[in-house]
Structure 1
């Protein structure tokens, strides 16, 4: 594929706002996880006993008056993340170069603003003929759709190109890069603002807990004793456009997607979809596996997912690869995981920081030598990110520097 220049990128997570906060926490090996202080309480009057990656200050965000109809916790986080790392200026620059109608918006999410819908059902009021309906202040149809965040970001930025929301569970905001690449290749856009936003809500916490996937302790990716994930929330973006001959910065070099449809919530036992996605990304990038210096793994800390992904990685990459999961820092941010972990891969390229795995102590002997617990520093030419979703929906991305 033709490389896409990455003009700006940012992430806001439980580690803080913007890339400096992310990088500082990675280097200091400081987790953003905390004991759960969010969501509905159980019969004992306490929230679900687990650890979460919660973003501070979301509740205090006030949207501009012109955007009030989109107000919800998810869009507040979307707005907060949008203000970081010079992104508004970068977006304005792209609109000036190409025209706002030639800049696409592609946003990934898993549950979007479902938290607002949960609240609406707890506050049902009598409507016409006594039929219960949403209260007037929350009866805003746009916030009760999966496209709420994509629509909000387009209006918040003033961009007028193609606009799409990708909702493929945990691969959502990795697949936005592939979607943007296709839009640009097809001539439907000259640049794209891609990203992902997902916030914690009752459906997320109790839904994953009902699948017996949530650990009562901080997650331990690839640890021999791992017993489940820690949920988190985040927002992040990247601005991409056609690369020019004189570009010297970071680039999207390849993407790979697959859908093995093995099971609704369990990965293919031989990692079929994961291998297909990684191979496709390497092929599009035009590189061999041994050219990759860092791989950010999906690494959720659930027993099945980690072992399957590790086996797939070992079947493709040499032992020298530095591969890690960073969910011990941020939690599993679901539909925002792809953009958050792409930002970490970009930081590895930009600053040579290769994070290890936080919170894990005993390596699983079933996992290969590629899985690294300790941080490292190295000048790498290519970095990858894996994001795998429910239903076997997989995406791998390859980032590099301009040749």
Structure 2
């Protein structure tokens, strides 16, 4: 590590997760989440209304969202925001109790998204491009920054509030940003996480890249052919106070190899994982579970396993991808997978199953989770998120401070 890295480490000690929530195709409760991830049954939904003349498996949150948006948030109204507030309301009482002792100007928000309210404007845009120029389209609801601003107004907080949009690493980077804000004494409490909702733009975009799977995705699988898209809303309240589960560190890198493809040797991915370990003062063999980015595209899985081999070497860490259960939740992927990891630490009873299909012979030297029953206590877990453009981040959570 460089002297600069060492200085940054001293300024970024672990922070506590005071409460959290995660909504996705796995359900709305931790009981549903655990059951979905520890059994082989499918949780995705086959839909035909996103891509013309095609059916796609998607990670749809199929439970009710709030119906009434406060009047002062009408300009931001979208399914994305309703998803965010639905999740927020599940922990809102815990949040209000915890923040009562803090100045509102010291309460910050950092959220990740890649879709914002785009889906709500898609029908209007379609009509406009068909010739109905009388239609007025409100861009505010689909601005990337609108998510954090709207949540701030909903909570009536007065501190920093901004949205990160770095594709699939967005909400994982919100954790890193929140940790920095706390340790730089720019906030006493930070609400972090991510929200992304299904929309035609992203599904058709990935379809044009020939990146969508024709079936339920198979991360690292012998016959993997692409991703399923999903949606999620997952939020965490961070502070410097000790909590049962801590965010220990975040390791970030930018390999900038290609606009949409990762570095084939996984150099940036390995750098992010090693940086997270260094910042947490951990050795690779101390990680008890690794949640892979695991998108099920041929290139991503191959490079990620190369990076795992480089960082973990002979330590066969239990690992799995959960995207065959949630779909790839894009800007919210890092947050919902962080929520999965923290529940593993809370429960100390199970691990998320990897998909049950055949593993690619070139990648089958790893310890994929085939039995959901946890054999020994887990102190530390790592979660990977790797995005377009080479924006890489690895998060480490723990039940113990190092």
Q: CA deviation at 1:2?
A: 1.1
> Residues 190 and 212 (structure 1 numbering): CA distance in 2 closer, same or farther, change over 3 Å?
same
Contact 1:250 1:399 survives alignment (8 Å): yes
Q: CA deviation at 1:182?
A: 1.1
Q: Where in structure 2 are there 5+ consecutive unaligned residues?
A: 1-11
Mapping 1:26-41, distance limit 5 Å: 26-39=37-50
Residue 81 of structure 2 is aligned to residue 75 of structure 1: yes
Q: CA deviation at 1:350?
A: 1.1
Q: 2:99 aligns with which of 62, 75, 95?
A: 95
Q: Aligned-pair RMSD on alpha carbons?
A: 2.0
Mapping 1:84-163, distance limit 5 Å: 84=90, 87-124=91-128, 132=133, 134-135=135-136, 139-163=137-161
Q: CA deviation at 1:248?
A: 5.1
Task: Specify the alignment match of 2:21 in structure 1.
Answer: 10
**Secondary structure at 1:395's aligned position in 2?**
strand
Contact 1:104 1:161 survives alignment (8 Å): yes
Rounded to whole Å, the distance in 2 between the matches of 1:214 and 1:79 is 29
The superposition leaves residues 4-43 of structure 1 with CA deviations (integer Å, 9 ceiling, x where unpaired) of: 010011100012113332122113333320112443x52x
Q: 2:316 aligns with which of 320, 335, 341?
A: 320
Contact 1:248 1:402 survives alignment (8 Å): no
Contact 1:94 1:191 survives alignment (8 Å): no
Q: Under a length normalisation based on structure 1, what TM-score does the superposition of the two structures give?
A: 0.91
Contact 2:273 2:394 survives alignment (8 Å): yes
Task: Specify the alignment match of 1:208 in structure 2.
Answer: 206
Q: CA deviation at 1:124?
A: 3.3
Contact 1:94 1:103 survives alignment (8 Å): no
Name the count of aligned residue pairs.
Answer: 386
Q: CA deviation at 1:364?
A: 1.6
The superposition leaves residues 349-374 of structure 1 with CA deviations (integer Å, 9 ceiling, x where unpaired) of: 1112211213x421222223233344
**Secondary structure at 2:170's aligned position in 1?**
helix
**Secondary structure at 1:306's aligned position in 2?**
helix
Rounded to whole Å, the distance in 1 between the matches of 2:294 and 2:236 is 22
Mapping 1:297-312, distance limit 5 Å: 297-312=292-307
> Residues 228 and 98 (structure 1 numbering): CA distance in 2 closer, same or farther, change over 3 Å?
same
**Secondary structure at 1:313's aligned position in 2?**
helix
Task: Specify the alignment match of 2:272 in structure 1.
Answer: 277
Task: Specify the alignment match of 2:336 in structure 1.
Answer: 340
**Secondary structure at 1:354's aligned position in 2?**
coil
Rounded to whole Å, the distance in 2 between the matches of 1:275 and 1:125 is 45
Rounded to whole Å, the distance in 2 between the matches of 1:17 and 1:67 is 24
Q: CA deviation at 1:301?
A: 0.6
Q: Under a length normalisation based on structure 2, what TM-score does the superposition of the two structures give?
A: 0.91
Q: CA deviation at 1:98?
A: 1.6
**Secondary structure at 1:90's aligned position in 2?**
helix
Comparing 225-234 with 149-158, greater Cα deviation is found at 149-158
Q: Where in structure 1 are there 5+ consecutive unaligned residues?
A: none
